[in-house]
Amino acid sequence: MTEAVPAGAPVPLDEAEIARVRRRSRAAIIAGQVLAGIGMGSTMSAGALLIAAVSGSEALSGMAATMSTIGAAIAAVPLATLATRRGRAPALATGALVAALGAVVGIVAAVLGWTLLLLAGVVMLGVGTAVNLQARFAATDLSEPHRRGRDLSVVVWSTTVGAVLGPNLIGPGDAVGQFLGLPPLSGVYLFTVVAQGAAVVVYLVWLRPDPLRLATRIGLERPASPEAAPRQADANGVATGMIATSLSHATMVAIMAMTPVHLVNHGAGLELVGITISLHVLGMYAFSPLWGVLADRLGREATIAIGQVLLLGALLLLSVGAESEVWVAVGLFTIGLGWSAASVAGSTLITESVDVVGRARIQGRADLLMSAAGAIGGAAAGLVLAQLGYGGLALAATSLAAIVLGAVVARMARRLTPS
């Protein structure tokens, strides 16, 4: 029977201990993702409506997604740097704590009716998204090459429980908030405070020994081990992965952010908004293990291409079916599927294109680019919605999916061409 390794003590570099740490790390990351999903799913769904209510301007509603992704972008590199220096656990816990404080700021801003303070709170909440992104990379710290897609996808999938439940907490959260005397739509932020606070505890207590620090040690002491692969960097693989994850994220954020506003303007209630967003989030996370298996078997590039085809189909559907609540729900679900395929396969491609010593730094840059693209997409979405309507917004977004598809096809063609 393997003896427990004291906290802070070096982990023996035998396969049994590495497997034990791999299982423990996966369990901790999954638990943290479930908790984070509850908080982020609820507050992000209500964010656009709350900003519109506090500011009195529908044009500012798109700032919910924009400010959230700005927060994720700002935090991406600092959290990656912290992970490199101190490990995954301190980085993930710090991000979750900032998100919890952001929910507190959001509640205070709603009470005072201060739009700028509310936007600042949303920026802090966006740090929770940065944690979500880094967690998927943390799942691959100790992965073997042939399982990286599946290991990453399992952690993405774990967000499903909380993220699907989260949007449906808008109504109950509003009821709790009004019972406590809080302004409409702000009560749901209470759930985020509790959920993110619990995630902090999970990361600090369970995520030991730290998977990234152990993986780095393996890479230095056993450079020929599977966990340390590859030995040569693949700059084109990193670039293709970044293009896929960032532009797919921009597409998803632009459409998702404007959907609640579009539905409410057409007479839909909060319950229908919650169900529609839940279906979208279900598409984003619930089928990620499928994409992980396909990424490992068919290849990263082929799985990214499948995701772009799904995105294009969904966007075309929304462009002609914008007035139908059913077609909006179907389209948003399919956008979630396409985003999931591109995110899982693209993130795996980035990870396997860099050696373990420099991996966290490149992953941080990838998250920065992904979040920045989402911020631009969210900001532009409000303006495009006002000018072209929801269908026009969906049609305009097809250009992003076409760019990704072109980049993937070009990489596949280069790999098939004899050098």
pLDDT tens for 148-169 read 999 999 988 887 776 667 667 7
By mean pLDDT, which of 63-77, 219-233, 286-300 is the weakest? 219-233
pLDDT tens for 98-135 read 999 999 999 999 899 898 999 999 999 989 989 988 99
pLDDT tens for 194-234 read 889 999 999 999 998 899 988 888 877 776 666 555 556 78
By mean pLDDT, which of 225-229, 301-305, 332-336 is the weakest? 225-229
Q: Does residue 272 or residue 307 have the better pLDDT?
A: 307
pLDDT tens for 378-392 read 888 888 988 889 999
Q: What is the pLDDT of residue 1?
A: 41
Sequence-distant (6+) residues with CB within 8 A of 78 are none
* Structure-derived torsion over alpha carbons of residues 384, 386, 392, 395, reported in degrees to the nearest 10: 30
Q: What is the pLDDT of residue 58?
A: 67
The token duo for 367 is: 């998250």
Sequence-distant (6+) residues with CB within 8 A of 410 are none
pLDDT above 90 coverage of the chain, percent: 43
How far, in whole angstroms, is CA 235 from its chain's centroid? 23
Burial class for 10, CB neighbours closer than 10 Å (0-12, 13-18, 19+): exposed
pLDDT tens for 349-360 read 999 898 777 788
Are the beta carbons of 389 and 322 closer than 8 angstroms? yes
Q: At what angle do helices 300-320 and 235-265 cross, to 10 degrees?
A: 20
The token duo for 155 is: 């952690």
The token duo for 143 is: 């992965």
Q: What is the pLDDT of residue 282?
A: 84
Q: Report the predicted TM-score, pTM, of the whole model to 2 decimal places.
A: 0.81
Mean pLDDT across 286-294: 94
Residue 417 backbone class (left: φ over 0; alpha: ψ -120 to 50; beta: rest): beta
Helices (H), 226-299: 235-265, 270-285, 288-297
Length of the chain measured in residues: 419
By mean pLDDT, which of 41-45, 247-251, 341-345, 398-402 is the weakest? 41-45
- Which domains does the chain possess? 15-416 (1.20.1250.20)
The token duo for 415 is: 């790999």
Q: What is the pLDDT of residue 3?
A: 46
Q: What is the pLDDT of residue 5?
A: 47
By mean pLDDT, which of 32-46, 324-338, 360-374, 385-399 is the weakest? 32-46
User: Omega before 289 cis (within 30°)?
Assistant: no
For residue 165, the surrounding DSSP H or E stretch is: helix 148-165
Asked if residue 4 has pLDDT above 60, the reply is no
* Cα distance between residue 97 and residue 165, in whole Å: 21
Are the beta carbons of 141 and 88 closer than 8 angstroms? yes
For residue 323, the surrounding DSSP H or E stretch is: none
Q: Which residue type does 148 have?
A: R
The token duo for 176 is: 């709790």
pLDDT tens for 20-42 read 888 899 899 999 988 887 767 66
* Cα distance between residue 215 and residue 228, in whole Å: 7
pLDDT band at residue 416 under the 50/70/90 scheme: confident
The token duo for 282 is: 């279900």
Are the beta carbons of 160 and 37 closer than 8 angstroms? yes
* Cα distance between residue 325 and residue 292, in whole Å: 31
Phi/psi at 273 (nearest 5 deg)? -60, -45
Q: What is the pLDDT of residue 68?
A: 81
Phi/psi at 210 (nearest 5 deg)? -70, 125
According to DSSP, residue 223 is labeled T
Asked if residue 137 has pLDDT above 80, the reply is yes
Q: Radius of gyration of the chain from Cα atoms?
A: 21
* Cα distance between residue 272 and residue 236, in whole Å: 43
Asked if residue 6 has pLDDT above 70, the reply is no
Helices (H), 167-234: 170-179, 189-206, 211-221
